[in-house]
Structure 1
C-alpha cells in the first residue's frame, strides 16, 4: 500500500492533487478517501476503476486505519474558551503512545499515530481490548501508557519504549505493564461514528467499555469555568500527564480524520520544576500493595514539616525504590508507631490504609515538584486550590534515623525549591 511512508519524498498532498487532476475528480473527495483508509494505492485503484462514484462508496471499515485527527495548541485556558464558545469537554492528555485499535474477524490490530502496525508490541493491550469491549467489530482510539505495577500510577513515556525492542516483549510485559486510556469510538458493529458529535461518541464508548486495571476511559469533565479547568489541568499534571485536551461540544463537528483544527485544542505546561536534591520526608501513612505485594504495605504517604503551625502536610505517595528486604523490614519497624486513625498533626486529603505517628523520616528523590490539588503542602501558597507534590518519587534506600520529624524538609523549603527550579519546558 502506498501511504505516508513513501520514501521518495513525494508528499501525500502532491499525490492527492495528481490523482484528482489525472481522473478529473474532486480533490476533497480524494483527500477524504485517503484520510479514512490511509492507503493511496487503494484510493488510486478505486478512482481508476469507478471514478468519483467509487470514492463516495468508500466507508470507514475496521482493518483500514484512519489518519488521526490532530489538535491545535493554545497558550492559555482563556484562549481555549474563546475558541470553543465558552464551554468545552476537557480530557487528560496522557504521556504515552497514541493508538487506533481495530477489531474484525475476532482479532484486534493496533496502529500507531503514523499508521504503523504495532500489534506485536502490545499483546496485553490486545487482550484487554478483546475482553473489555463488548462489540463484534470496532475502531477505537486512545493512548497506551506505562504503569507502575505496584501502584497502578502512570509512568513516563520512555518506559513504554522498552516495548519497541523486539527481543524482550515478554520481560517488558512484566516490568512495564500497559494501560489503555480510550477517548474515542469511530466505528461499532456496522455504525460509523466519525460524523457524530463528541457527546454521542463518548456515551457510546461508556456503553461498550468495561473498565479494568488495564483499560479505562480518559478522565473527562465539561466546564465553562476557567478556574475549574485550571484545577483539572493541575490534577492531570500531578497524575503524570502532559496536560489536557479541550474538545468541542459543537454537535455539527465530528471526527476529522487527517485534519488539524480548533475542534481539538491541546494545553500543555510551559514550565517544570526539576528536583535536583533529595528530600527528607515524614512517613504518616501506608497503603496496601497489589500484585505480589497484595495484603502487605507496598507504599507510603509522606509529608513535609510545617513549622508555622507544627503540622505535617502531605507531598506524595511513594511505592518505588524499595528492595524485597525493605518491604519486610520497614513495615516491621513502623509497626510500633501505627495508630488507628490519622494523627491530629497530619494534614491530609488522602485516606491511607494505615496511619502512623509522624516519627520516621525517609529520604526520597523525584523528577520534579508539581502543583497538585490532592496534596496539602504549601496549599494555596503558589496557586489557589493546589498544594505541592513530588512527581515520580523514589525511595533512595535511606531511612534518616539521624533526623527527627521536625528536622525533615519543610514546606517553606519546598516552596523555595519549586520557585528556584522552574525551567522552561523544551518541546
Structure 2
C-alpha cells in the first residue's frame, strides 16, 4: 500500500472517485486491525528517480565491475582503490539508501521494497502485460506507426534493430528507452514519488481494458523521462537484475527479515513487523505456521559424479543410508489443514505453490467444498488424531485410463474439469506428499527427514490416485543410483532426487541434503556406435499404439560361428528411446513394416536373439525382428557400464539416437569383437589421460599459445651448485633466466639456473626460440624492454619452486609439470590470460597444486562474507527448468553454449533478389537460435561451433579453407538444422543437415 501522504492520483481507469475512496478506507481499516503496531512514515516517500539514481544504477555499475577476471576484481574497484570489494560496495550502496529512507521518510520501507524487489510482492495482482502488449501501448501513446523503424523495433524487441545504433536486442526495457529517448516529453527527471508510482501500479494491475491501460501509460509518458520509464517497465515485468538478491536487501534492513519472509512469503509483514533492527523475532516466529505460505526447501544441482553427491550428504559409518526418490513432473505445492468448526466438515484447507500463489480456490477449502478439485476426495486421508497439519509435495496430473502421470501442462485443465464434475473419469490432479512439516500445533522442521517420514506415515493415509505418500528407495552406495536413473529415463520421467535422511528441513535453501539428478549427455563413448535394431517396446501417452523404444544388439563373431552359432545371431546390448523425431520413427516403420513378430516367451527366437538371464529373459522386447530385415542406427552415449540385464554383460549409459545408417547392412554393423576392441581402446586412452592430466594441460597451453611463455634473468655466472634432491621434473623444457627471485625465496640468477639444471632443464641465454620459458622477478632494463614489446610472457621463479616442492612432497606420484597460475606471472600477454586464469578457481585456489596454509588463509580472507551473483545464465536456465510446468514448454536453452556464424550476405539482408526467401529464412533461423540460447558471431573466428548455410552454397569452398586453420573445426549445417531442431524440440544430429 502506498504512503497515505502521497495522495496525488490521476483517474485513469474510469473508476468512480467516491467508490475508490470507500475501498481505500475499508482497506486501511482492515490493515490497521491486522497490523496495529505498524510503522508510520513522518514524511513523503522519496522521488522515484532517486530509486534508480542512488540504488539501481550504482548496483548495476558494481555488477559490471564484479564480472571481470578474479585477480583484477580483487585489486581494483570502480575507483581503483585496493579495498573496493564488489560485495562491500554493494552492501554500502544499499545501506546508504536504507539509512537515507529512515532519516528522510520513516520506518515504513514497504513502498520502496515493492519497487525494489517486485517479484516478492504478493499483494499486488499480476498486470497481465507482456513485452509485446507494452510495446503496442507505447506505440499508441507516442503515436508511432507500427510499421516504422521504431514501431518495428518495439514489437520485435528480440531481433536486432533495423538501424546500426540499435543495440538492445533481447532487452525490452532497453529497447523502450532507445525509442522513447528520441521523442521524450520530459528530458529532466520527473516529479513522481515512490508512493505515487505504487498508486499508479495498483491502478494498472486493476485495469483490464486497453483504453484504461493506455491512459495510465500516457501518464507515465508525460510525467517521466526515458530512464525512469525504462526502470518502471523493468518493475512491471519483474525483471530487475540489479546485482543484488532479496536476501541482501532483507539482511541489511533487519537481521531477521529473511527468516520471516521464508516462513511467511509476505513482504508487507516483513516490512511492518521488522522495522526496528533492535527488536528481534521470537523463536516461534522463525518457524512455519498454519495457513501462512512458506518458502520451501529446494534440491541442489547435479554434480558430475554420483559418488561425490553421496559423499556430500555426509554418511556416517553406522548410518550410510541415503534415499532415492523419483523427480516428479508437477507443481511444488504445500497443503495446510486446520480445524475450523465454521465450515462443513470441520477442516479448512489452504494450498500454495512454490512462488506463493494461492490455489485454494481450485483445489478446495474444505471436505464439503462443492467447487473443489481435490479436498472433497480427502475425507479419509488423515488419521483421526490429526487436528492440523502442513504437508509438502508435488501436484501432478493423473490419467486414470492409462494409470499414468501426464505432463504438467494439463494440470490446470484437469483441476477445472474435476471442479465441474467430481465423478469425471478424465485426467485429474493427484497430490504426491513427500514431507510433513507441521503436526498438531507443532512445527517439526528441525526433526530429521527420517523422523518426519515416520510421522507422515502415521498421520496420512493414501487415497488412491488422489493423495498418496511418495515412495523412496533406501541406498547405501553410488552404484545403486544408475539403475534407477535408467528406469526413470525409460519411463520418460524427469530424473531422481537424492535425500539425506539425517537432515532437517531448511526453508528456502539449496544444499547438499537434497540433490537432483537429470540425465545429461556430457561426453560420447569413443566413436558413435552403429548397431542393429533387434527388438521393440510399446510406448505410452503420445507414443502409445506403436514402438517407441528399441533394443539394439551386437553381431556374433567368426569364432562363435565356427562353434555353431547362426551368422545372424545377436546379443542384446542396450535400449534406446531418446533422440528420435517423428520423421525418424516414420522412416523406421516404413523400412520394417510387416516384418515385426510378437515375442513369444515360451518360444523365444534364441537362434537369432540371445537375452540375458536365461529363461528369465531380461529386458525382453514386446516384438522382435530378423536382423536381416532390420535397420542399422547410429547412437551415442555417456559411457559404458557393466550389467547383468543384457547378454553382452555391458550396456550404454543414457544412449541417444543420432541417425539412421541406410548405407550399412546388418552384417557390417558393430560386432561383439569390434565393441570389445573399441572398449579396450577407450579405457586405455582414459587411463593415460588420468595419469597425465597436468602434463596434458601444460602441452595444451603451449600448443595453443600464439606467443610462448618467457622467463627473465641476468648474465651472472653459475658458481654455486644446487644442493637438493635431483628429480628430472623439468626434463624437455628450455629456460631463459632473466633475473633472480625475490619471493617466496630470495635467490640469485645463478642459483636458479643451478636448480633448473639439477632438475633436468636446459638453459639458454636468449628468448629467440618460441618454446623457451622466460623467468623473471625484477623489472630490470632487459625485462622492461621485453614487457614493452608485449610479445612474451614472463614467469616468476616461484613456479619452479612450486614444481620442485610438489614433486618432493608427492614422491610416489608421477613427475608432472604444474600449470602456470596468475600468481606465477610477472607479465602476461593478452593471448595467454584466459589459459592461465583457467588454472585456478574464481577465488584463486589452484586446481593442480598443493597450496600452503598461508595461501589458504589468504584465499579465505579475500572471499566476501556472502558472495552473491546478480544474475547467472546457467542458474537462470536451471530455475526455468524447475518452473517449466508453470511457464509451459520452454525450449529456450535448446542451443545454449553454441556460437553460430551465418552466411554473411544472407544474415545481413544483403541478398540478391533471387535469394530473398533464403535471406528471410536464415534471419529467422538466426533469431530462433539466439532466442534458444545461442550466441551469434559477427565474424568467422576461432571458437565458432556452427556455420549456417543458406541456398547459395558457392562460398563453401572458401569457408572450408578458412576454418581448416582453426584448432576446433565448426560444424557446417544448413538452416534446416535450426528449423527442424526447433520444431522437434530436441537438438538433432548435425551430419543429417550437412550441405551437399
| Same fold flag (TM > 0.5) | yes
Given the alignment of the two structures, is residue 136 of structure 1 paired with residue 387 of structure 2, yes or no?
yes
Which residue does 1:263 correspond to in 2? Answer: 513
Cα distance, 1:67 vs structure 2:
0.6
The DSSP-based 3-state class of the residue aligned with 2:390 is strand
Larger RCO: 1 or 2 (CA < 8 Å, sep 6+): 1
Name the residue aligned to 1:17: 251
Deviations 1:379-405 (A, max 9, x none): 84324xx9x899xxxxxxxxxxxxxxx
Aligned to 1:236: 488
Alpha-carbon spacing, 1:161–1:370, altered in 2? closer, same or farther (3 Å): farther
1:49-91: per-residue Cα shift (whole Å, max 9, x none)?
9974654342422210111112221223122112112442221
Shift of residue 37, structure 1, vs aligned partner: 1.5
CA distance 1:284–1:16, shift in 2 (3 Å): closer
RMSD: 5.2
SS at match of 1:196: coil
Gap change, CA 1:342 and 1:192, over 3 Å in 2: farther
Distance 1:343 1:303 in 2: 20
**Rounded Cα–Cα distance in structure 2 between residues aligned with 1:249 and 1:154:** 26
DSSP-derived class of the 1:186 partner: strand
For residues 150-188 of structure 1, the C-alpha deviation after alignment (integer angstroms, 9 at most, x for no partner) is 221222223335458x79964897543232221111112
Distance (Å, rounded) in 2 between the aligned partners of 1:245 and 1:257: 17
Aligned ranges 1:8-407 → 2 under 5 Å: 8=235, 12-13=246-247, 16-17=250-251, 19-20=253-254, 27=255, 29-47=256-274, 52=279, 55-58=282-285, 59-76=287-304, 77-86=306-315, 87=320, 88-104=322-338, 105=340, 106-122=347-363, 123-134=372-383, 135-160=386-411, 162-163=413-414, 170=420, 174-211=425-462, 212-250=464-502, 253-271=503-521, 309=569, 343-345=603-605, 380-383=650-653
Counterparts of 1:389 and 1:214 in 2: how far apart (Å)? Answer: 35
Shift of 1:41: 2.3
Closer, same or farther: CA 83–369 of 1 in aligned 2, 3 Å: same
Q: Which has the higher strand share?
A: 1
Aligned length: 348
Q: Helix, strand or coil for the counterpart of 1:35?
A: helix
The 1:85/1:102 distance shift into structure 2, 3 A limit, reads same
Distance in 2, matches of 1:411 and 1:131, equals 58
Give 1:103 deviation, angstroms: 0.9
Q: Deviations over 1:287-326 (max 9, x none)?
A: 9xxxxxxxxxx9999986979758999979xxxxxxxxxx
For the residue of structure 2 that corresponds to 1:120, the secondary structure is helix
- Whether contact under 8 Å (1:305, 1:411) holds in the other structure is no
Residues 3-44 of structure 1, C-alpha deviations (whole Å, 9 max, x = no match): 823675686435523542xxxxxx1x3322221121232344
Q: Once structures 1 and 2 are overlaid, which stretch shifts more, 209-218 or 66-75?
A: 209-218
Residue 124 of structure 1 aligns to a residue in which SS? coil
Q: Is the 8 A contact 1:69 1:255 kept in 2?
A: yes
Which runs of no fewer than 5 residues in structure 2 stay unpaired?
A: 2-113, 125-234, 341-346, 364-371, 523-532, 557-568, 577-597, 612-616, 626-634, 658-665, 672-892, 897-932, 934-996
Task: Tell me the TM-score normalized by structure 1.
Answer: 0.62
Q: 1:194 to 1:155 in 2, by over 3 A?
A: same
Structure 1 unaligned regions, length at least 5: 21-26, 273-279, 288-297, 317-336, 360-367, 391-406, 413-422
Measure the CA separation in 1 of the matches of 2:380 and 2:644: 32
SS in 1 for 2:501: coil
Task: Give per-residue Cα distances to partners, 1:325-352, cap 9 Å, x unaligned.
Answer: xxxxxxxxxxxx999x755459756999
Q: Which has the larger radius of gyration?
A: 2
Structure 2 length as normaliser, TM-score? 0.29
